[in-house]
Structure 1
Amino acid sequence: MCLAPTPITIKDVIPIPTLHLNHYPQIFVAMEALYSNNKTPILFLIILAMSALGQGTRVGFYRTTCPRAEIIVQSVVQSFVNSNPTIAPGLLRMFFHDCFVRGCDASILLDVSYAEKTAPPNSRLRGFEVIDAAKSQLETICPGVVSCADILALAARDSVVQSGGFWWEVRTGRRDGLVSRDCDATNLPGRKDSIEVQIRKFAEKGLNIQDLVTLTGGHTIGTAACALLCSRLYHFNNTTGPDPAINQTFLPHLRSLCPEGGDGAKRVDLDTGSVHKFDISYYENLKNGRGILESDSQLWNDPRTQRFVEWFLGGSRQQQSKFSVEFGKSMVRLGDIGVKTGDKGEIRRVCNAIN
């Protein structure tokens, strides 16, 4: 019997991200601040800080062992996205789903019985062939060196860049996980999650409200199936009407795309009018009641998240740059969740099977 792990909540502890030697001052400032309030045992803080330092990922991990690793992944992603722009949001979503379940360990890629990728939230993931193609090339020149987890992290970054977003440095050195279970996917944020639930799920991964709003902004590229929003259009909360949060002038357009009883597999752009461009128009749509998913629209309807939507929109020409920069920062934090390094996990020879 497969049971999803129970989250452990420790109050009054500030999550400390993956850090490196030049971050020692920040570690001890955080430790001192918490300990001065007598809220957290100092031993726990020391263990937490040293654990963060010891994760072992860093920028340029393959600089000597496989110098062309990042260039090869970038080239493969560019080729696929140029042929099919919908691959970009697929890779970004796959990375998010991987990290949010068992940590960034490529467990989403494994083909095993009752695998993570077969869980309902993952049934529409795409882009696996991109990871396989990159892995195949890397195994030819650097066999047994570059992990599938790192390939996925790099591919997510490169897919954003190919869609017009900013480049950011990806820390590498992850190892691949050995376990993949469909029931673990219950940890993923859902399209009907309330703001409270969304905030809690992100907090359990060490991510804050700004990360929630920023990373959800990845919906500026991509689509959703009509099956995921028909209840919102016709029978919201078991009523006979639509979600009142939907802009009433936008509702007929959505209903024309997803008629009741129609093709549930038909795709709808998550960012109307700008589906293949990584920009802030997604947030404009939220502000104007044109969010597609219920969970998306709630970002504008709760003051805790609305202020970050407004912050990204702002009023200057630099707002797009602000979003792209902050997105990269949040992706780095996402990429630090539950990484395996050292003697944990393995470097798979192929990404869909353990060695």
Structure 2
Amino acid sequence: MAPIVALFLSSVLIFSVFSPVNSLSYNYYQKTCPHAESMIAYAVKTATSKDKTVPAALLRLHFHDCFIRGCDASVLLNSHGSNKAEKDGPPNLSLHALYVIDSAKKDLETWCPGVVSCADIVALAARDAVALSGGPSWDVPKGRKDGRTSKASETIKLPAPTFTISQLQQSFSQRGLSLDDLVALSGGHTLGFSHCSSFQNRIRNFNATHDVDPLINPSFAAKLKGVCPKNGKSKNAGTTMDPSSTTFDNTYFKLILQKKALFSSDQALLSNPKTKNLVKKFATSREAFSKAFVNSMIKMSSLTGGQEIRKNCRVVN
């Protein structure tokens, strides 16, 4: 097969997986389960009151779900038999707070059995997580279906923290997301924690010429070296994504301009004129970032691809 034809067919196949085939609606549960959103919000709020890392985990969970087969809650499925599920793929081993989705689902099944999809719960929980962290809130379109396929091998499709701007652009464009969406959604890194393995490449043995990435602030690199032991002996070692890691704000973009962002993929946003200008804009205006983030979240969360309403989010019906 000619390379150009192969590339075209590959692109068509990838995009077809993420096409918004299901019709989403803002009032989808108005008659069938009118208290769905408040019940999900309660589950998120309760969990967050006991563990401040929950919001970051729920936002990351939604992103990791949508980028594989669309927002179909396939990330929640357990491995079964010879099939290794997404949650057991290398990029997803650090996902947590899945119990929050289980808790909300259990309550919803009591009041509205077989009505609210796990995929919608994940999308709504991500919104509630951002709002609880001091970020914006928004109306989430609903009506997603849950997927029946989950493969750990497909987690390689997730954008890696080592990605260049061209790799990031390709990954997002395959899902119908623009450079504007790339920068806005990257702002989700304002919440949470990163293990050393995700940024180790920047602080030791960067390349044949430099031990440390020349694009990282030297004092910041030294601090990270102190946090991350050589040879990765401590699997739990790491640091917060930014100093205000439980507050949804625009600090992340300010850190990029100061060369204090953790990931290569974060710093890469300055290597393209358009994305660089957006970083500067969002670093200056929290309001502009919040507005862009909401628009991009709605766009990303509208990528669908499921087939059923699971009774248990961890297994297919």
Q: TM > 0.5 between the two?
A: yes
- Residues 1:57 and 2:24 aligned together: yes
Aligned to 2:256: 286
Query: Quick one: distance in 2 between partners of 1:59 and 1:166?
Result: 17
Distance 1:238 1:61 in 2: 56
The CA RMSD measured in Å over matched residues stands at 2.0
| Residue correspondences, number | 303
Give a deviation string over 1:131-179, Cα, whole Å, max 9, x none: 0000000001111100000000000100001111010110000111111
The counterpart of 1:336, out of the listed 291, 295, 302, is 302
- List gaps (5 residues or longer) in structure 1: 1-5, 19-50
What is the alpha-carbon distance in structure 1 between the residues aligned to residue 207 and residue 65 of structure 2?
30
Give the secondary structure class of the aligned counterpart of 2:194. strand
Correspondence for 1:211: 181
1:267 aligned to which of 238, 256, 262 = 238
How far is the alpha carbon of 1:186 from its aligned partner? Answer: 1.5
What is the deviation of 1:227?
2.1
* 1:101 and 2:72 aligned: no
Opposite residue 316 of structure 2, the aligned amino acid is I
**CA deviation after TM superposition for structure 1 residue 264, in Å:** 3.3
Using CA pairs under 8 Å that are at least 6 residues apart, name the structure with larger relative contact order, 1 or 2: 2
Instruction: Go from structure 1 to structure 2 and tell me whether the alpha carbon gap of 1:230 and 1:239 turns closer, same or farther (over 3 Å shift).
Output: farther
Paired residue secondary structure (1:243): coil
CA contact (8 A) 2:22 2:304 kept: no
Equivalent residue, structure 2, for 1:257: 227
Structure-2-length-normalised TM-score? 0.91
Give the share of equivalent positions with the same residue, in percent. Answer: 39
Q: Paired residue for 1:320? A: 286
Match of 2:5 in 1: none
Match of 1:92? 59
Give CA deviations for 1:26-80 in whole Å, capped at 9, x if unaligned: xxxxxxxxxxxxxxxxxxxxxxxxx86x631110210110010000000100111
Distance in 1 (CA, whole Å) between partners of 2:221 and 2:157 is: 31
Q: Which has the larger radius of gyration?
A: 1
Q: Show the counterpart of 1:75.
A: 42
Kindly state the Cα deviation for residue 239 of structure 1 after the two structures are TM-superposed: 5.6
- Assess, with a 3 A threshold, how the Cα gap between structure 1 residues 333 and 7 changes in structure 2: closer, same or farther: farther
Question: 2:114 matched to which residue of 1?
Answer: 144
- Normalising to structure 1: TM-score of the pair? 0.82
Alpha-carbon spacing, 1:238–1:270, altered in 2? closer, same or farther (3 Å): farther
Q: Is 1:220–2:190 an aligned residue pair?
A: yes
Equivalent position of 1:157 in the other structure: 127
Query: Alignment partner for residue 266 of structure 2, among 274, 296, 318?
Result: 296
Would you identify which runs of 4 or more consecutive aligned residues in structure 1 move more than 3 Å? 237-240
Aligned to 1:354: 316
TM-aligned CA deviation for residue 9 of structure 1: 5.5
Q: Secondary structure at the match of 1:250?
A: helix
How far did residue 311 of structure 1 move? 1.4
Distance 1:60-1:287 versus aligned 2 partners, 3 A rule: same
CA distance in 1, matches of 2:30, 2:60: 27
Post-superposition shift, 1:337? 1.3
- The answer to whether the Cα contact below 8 Å between 2:44 and 2:100 also exists between their aligned partners in 1 is yes
Letter in 1 for 2:128: D
For 1:189-208, list aligned pairs within 5 A.
189-208=159-178
Mark the CA change 1:245 to 1:256 in structure 2 (over 3 Å): closer, same or farther: same
CA contact (8 A) 1:7 1:204 kept: no
Deviation at 1:231, TM superposition (A): 2.6
Q: Does 1:176 align with 2:138?
A: no
CA-CA distance at 1:87 after TM superposition: 1.0
CA contact (8 A) 2:164 2:268 kept: yes
SS of match in other structure, 1:330:
helix
Distance in 2 (alpha carbons) for counterparts of 1:168 and 1:193: 30
Unaligned runs of 5+ residues in structure 2 are 1-8
CA contact (8 A) 1:227 1:265 kept: no
- Which shifted more, 245-254 or 275-284? 245-254
Maintained 8 Å contact 1:258/1:264: no
